[in-house]
Amino acid sequence: MVAIGRITGIWRYPVKSMAGQRITAAEVGTLGLHADRTWAVRDLENNATTSAKRLAGLLLCTARYVKPPPPEAGPGHAPEVIVGLPDGREFSSSDPGIHAALSSYLDRDVELRALPPVEDKGQYRGTMAGAADLHAYFGLDDDEPLPDLSMFPVKKLAELSRYITPVGSYVDAYPVHVITEQTLRTMTGLAPDSDFDVRRFRPTILVDAPQGAEYPETDWCGGTLFAPAAEITPLLPTVRCVMPSHAQPDLDRDRRITRTIAAHTRHCLGVYGTVTRTGHLREGDPLRFRPRERSRIASTAGAGAATVKRLLMKAGTAAITRGVAATRR
C-alpha cells in the first residue's frame, strides 16, 4: 500500500445534470455520496428520466438543498431542493409551478421528479437510444465511430440496457467518479486554448496525486483507494459524452473539449468506482492505494473476456438501432 495523494474537492449534485454543490465533507455509502442526485428532470413525452445529454440547458441551472440532507435522504426520500434558472428565478421542489417553469425554459414538457423507491423499477426504465442518439450523446459526426464500451462488465451492460439509470440512483452508471488534478493539467497542455475546469467533468472527488503519471487514476482501476474513514474501488475509465463541451455557469461551450478527449484518451477521462467501505470523506483526506493482485492466467482470461464483449457490443448496438428504426416505421 502506497500514499498517492489527497482529496482536494468533493461535489454533490442535488439534481441530475444541474450544477453541483462543492462541500467539505460527506458520508458515503453503497449508492455513493449521501444525497447525491435525489432529483432529476423527467421528459414527459418519452416518459423517461432525461439529462443534459439531451437537454444541454440543464447544465446552466443551479440546485441546492434547503437544509442539510437528513440521514434517510435517498430513494423514496428526496429532501427539498431549490432550483435556480439562468434568468435568476428560483423555485422550490415543493412549488407546483416549478414544472411549468422548467418546461418553458427547456422548451420541452418536463417535470422535476424525486428519486423513486428502489422497488418502483418502472420509474427507472426508458426508451432505447438509436445510432443517431448515441452519436449525439458523444458529440460525434454520423460517420465517426462510437466509443468502445467493452470495458463495462456484462452485468452492467445488461442493467443499462433495461434502465435509464441504475435502480436506486440517478447516476449514469456507477456511484462514484474520481478525477485527478494531474489529468486536467495534462488535457490543458494538449489544448491550451480550452478551459478544462473540473466542473465540466462533474466528479465526486478531485484528487491531487503529485507522484502520478499523466492520467494517474487510470492506473488505479481494479485496486482500492483508502481514505481514513472510507474505501473506494476504481473500476474502469469514465467514458465521456458531449456534456463537458456544453456551457455551464461561467464556462462557455467548447466542442474542442470533447474532441481533445476523443483524440488522446479514447473518449475517457477520470474513472468510475464503487464504495467498498462505507464511512465519510473529507476535503484534505490523505489517500493510500493498494493495487489488485492478478496472475498471468487471470490477465489472459481478462483479455479474452474483453474480446468477447467487443463482439457483444457491436451486435447489441446494431440490435438497438434496428429496434428503434422498427418503432419509427
Residue 69 lies in a domain: no
Residue 101 lies in a domain: no
Residue 77 lies in a domain: no
Residue 174 has pLDDT above 60, yes or no: yes
What pLDDT shows up at residue 300? 39
pLDDT (tens digit per residue) in 112-144: 999 999 999 888 886 666 666 565 666 666 666
Which residues, in sequence order, are bridge partners of residue 285?
A: none
Range 269-298 average pLDDT? 88
Residue 23 has pLDDT above 90, yes or no: yes
Give dist(CA 19, CA 15) in Å, integer. 8
Residue 323 has pLDDT above 70, yes or no: no
Residue 244 lies in a domain: yes
- In which domain, by residue range, is 274 found? 2-37+121-321
What pLDDT shows up at residue 155? 79
205 within 8 A of 60, measured Cβ to Cβ: no
Range 51-68 average pLDDT? 96
Give dist(CA 120, CA 118) in Å, integer. 5
Give dist(CA 219, CA 207) in Å, integer. 14
- Rounded to 5°, angle at Cα 67 from 66 and 72: 120
Confidence band for 182, pLDDT divided at 50, 70 and 90: very high
- Give SS3 for 47: coil
The reported pTM is 0.84
Q: Characterise 267 by phi-psi region: left (phi > 0), alpha (psi -120 to 50), beta (else).
A: left
pLDDT (tens digit per residue) in 61-96: 999 999 999 999 999 999 999 999 999 999 999 999
Range 306-329 average pLDDT? 39
Give dist(CA 326, CA 133) in Å, integer. 15
Residue 14 has pLDDT above 80, yes or no: yes
Residue 159 lies in a domain: yes
Which of 5-14, 15-24, 72-81, 138-147 is predicted least confidently?
138-147
Give dist(CA 17, CA 52) in Å, integer. 6
DSSP secondary structure string for all residues of 137-184: HTT--TTSPPP--TTS-HHHHHHHHH-SS-TT--SSS-SEEEEEHHHH
Q: Which residues are within 8 A (CB) of 65 and not within 5 positions of it... i.e. 6 or more apart?
A: 14, 21, 35, 79, 80, 81, 82
What pLDDT shows up at residue 202? 97
According to DSSP, the β-strands at 176-180 and 268-277 are: antiparallel
- Rounded to 5°, angle at Cα 161 from 158 and 163: 105
Range 254-281 average pLDDT? 95
What helix, strand, coil percent values describe the chain, rounded to 5?
30, 30, 40
Share of the chain above pLDDT 70, in %: 81
Kindly provide the b/e burial profile for residues 121-142, where b requires at least 16 CB atoms within 10 angstroms of the residue's own CB: eebbebeebbbebbbbbbbbee
Could you tell me how many residues make up the chain?
A: 329
According to DSSP, the β-strands at 176-180 and 205-208 are: parallel
Residue 98 lies in a domain: no
Mean pLDDT of the chain: 87
DSSP secondary structure string for all residues of 263-280: HHHTTEEEEEEEEEE-EE
**Which residue did the predictor score with more confidence, 159 or 295?**
159
Residue 76 lies in a domain: no
In CATH, what number is assigned to the domain containing residue 158? 2.40.33.20
What pLDDT shows up at residue 163? 83
Confidence band for 146, pLDDT divided at 50, 70 and 90: low
For residue 267, give the nearest of 135, 166, 129 by alpha carbon: 135
For residue 23, give the nearest of 180, 249, 204, 200 by alpha carbon: 204
What pLDDT shows up at residue 87? 97
What pLDDT shows up at residue 129? 60
pLDDT (tens digit per residue) in 157-166: 777 778 889 9
Residue 329 C-alpha from the chain's centroid = 33
Residue 110 has pLDDT above 70, yes or no: yes
- Give SS3 for 320: helix
Confidence band for 171, pLDDT divided at 50, 70 and 90: very high
What pLDDT shows up at residue 49? 93
Q: Which of the residue ranges 52-56, 94-98, 316-320 has the most confident prediction, judged by mean pLDDT?
A: 94-98
81 within 8 A of 14, measured Cβ to Cβ: yes
What pLDDT shows up at residue 325? 34
Domain count of the chain?
Answer: 1
Residue 287 lies in a domain: yes
Residue 290 has pLDDT above 90, yes or no: yes
